[in-house]
Amino acid sequence: MGERYSYRLRIDTYTPVSIGNGSFLSPITDFFVSQRTLYILDKTRLNRVLIERNKIDLFTEQVTESVNESKTGTNFSVYSFIKRELGLEPEQLTIKNIPFPNASQSKEQIAGCFTSNGKPVIPGSTLKGAIKGALLFKWLTSTEGSDTLNAMIKDILRNKRPNTSFFSDDDPENKKLEAELSVGDSEPFSEKSLVVYRTDRLHYKRKNSRVPQTKMCIERKQASKFQYKSAQWPFNKALVDAINDFSYQSLSIEQDILNDSGNIGSYTSERLNSFYDDIKGEIRDIKASGALTCFLRIGSGKSYFDNSIGIAICLKNEDAFKKLREFYELGKAPKERNFSPKEPFPITRTIISELTLPLGWIKFSLAKN
């Protein structure tokens, strides 16, 4: 292994970024929303006041009666309970408030995000995984990797499951990628960069069919830095072009599917097309100028076409890609018994309500210090 080149890179959030940490905030005991702001409750103080004022049983009774069947939502208002039953201003029992620009009256769980001492962080593993995906796509579509891609397609067209062992931890190409790339966690973003957004899963076949989810995010136009080390893939034009080419292809497929749908309202379609065109235009400018800046999509909201193997097969052979979807039942609905491939695929996309923007787009470049 040769000498590793080390770089300090700047990361900018192009759209809000949500890297889930597996935790969820409950609208019953964790927060309330007022004036497009999320207030996080101090549960220790709330519990103490409930005990002091002999309201534990009443609180428990009202909560139990309010929770929906899926245990994910409630019509209980902790804000109203604190004012009415405890005689306090709810803000007195909070420890933090976070902007919630597109808040609604609905009460749903909120997916948390990675933080360090209260400040959001993008894990190095997330960044490394996205960079590896772009490099594997570059390899699969190169002369060196074309035999592997063609063999997979041949298997698929013969109704055989494709050999994807080259993605395993034991494969030499994947081992090389793993060993050669070292990507550190981002430095903590500002605590003020935290924001909460309500998202919808936009359905390309059924109009007005949206599934809301609420997520804690890093807001747009926020910056941090991270450490990147590699001997084989120094942060140069070749690497930047490989990453940008992968992102450009992903954006182009997403845009083609959107424009072929015919079921998306004109406002939403125009907003998304404008977004896709803006990033693709920036990527073309970067390539022409030789600037060391690249775009990637990370975290929540990624689509199947941010997957290197999927996009490589799709671009090479559409018939093989359709069969691949059948093998793995890609796009199967949760309660669907007899799977049938959906068109278009994927049939839903996650967008931020009101903003009509995708989640997860970042760009990174050489840091100036």
Helix, strand or coil for residue 73? strand
Helical spans, DSSP H, in the chain: 43-52, 56-66, 78-85, 124-140, 143-157, 172-180, 237-261, 266-289, 308-316, 318-328
Q: For the residues 264-292, what does the mean pLDDT come to?
A: 95
Percentage of residues of the chain with pLDDT beyond 70: 93
Over residues 124-141, mean pLDDT: 93
- Give the model's confidence band at 309: pLDDT under 50 very low, under 70 low, under 90 confident, else very high: confident
Cα atoms found within 13 Å of the Cα of residue 101, Cβ hemisphere only: 15
pLDDT at 179: 74
Neighbours of 166 (CB within 10 A): 19
Mean pLDDT, all residues of the chain: 90
Query: Taking a C-beta distance cutoff of 8 angstroms, is the pair 65, 104 a contact?
Result: no
User: Interhelix angle for 266-289 vs 237-261, to 10°?
Assistant: 160
Is a pLDDT exceeding 60 seen at residue 72?
no
Overall average pLDDT of the 59-76 stretch: 73
Query: How many CA atoms, within 13 angstroms, populate the side-chain half-sphere of residue 110?
Result: 27
Q: What gap in Å lies between CA 367 and CA 7, rounded to an integer?
A: 8
For residue 183, give Cα distances in angstroms to 55, 121, 152, 229, 309: 50, 13, 30, 6, 22
Do the beta carbons of residue 268 and residue 221 sit within 8 Å? no
Q: What is the pLDDT of residue 208?
A: 62
Quick check: 37 pLDDT over 90?
yes
Instruction: Give 179-189 pLDDT, tens digit per residue.
Output: 788 999 999 99
pLDDT of residue 303: 85
Q: Which two tokens stand for residue 89?
A: 């201003």
How confident is residue 293, by pLDDT bands cut at 50, 70 and 90?
very high
Between 345 and 360, whose confidence is greater? Answer: 360
- Considering only 25-34, 62-71, 273-282, which range has the smallest mean pLDDT? 62-71
* Rounded Cα–Cα distance for residues 43 and 95 (Å): 9
The pLDDT value recorded for residue 332 is 85
84-98, 125-139, 160-174, 309-323: least confidently modelled range: 160-174
pLDDT greater than 90 at residue 264: no
Q: DSSP per residue over 273-327, as a string?
A: HHHHHHHHHHHHHHHHHT-SEEEEE-STT--GGGSHHHHHHHHH-HHHHHHHHHH
Is the pLDDT at 96 greater than 80? The verdict is yes
Higher pLDDT, 197 or 177: 197
Which pLDDT score is estimated for 212? 83
Confidence of residue 38 (pLDDT cuts 50, 70, 90): very high
Q: What was the pLDDT predicted at 344?
A: 86
| 196-236 pLDDT per residue, tens | 999 998 888 876 656 789 999 999 999 999 999 998 899 99
What pLDDT sits at residue 69? 52
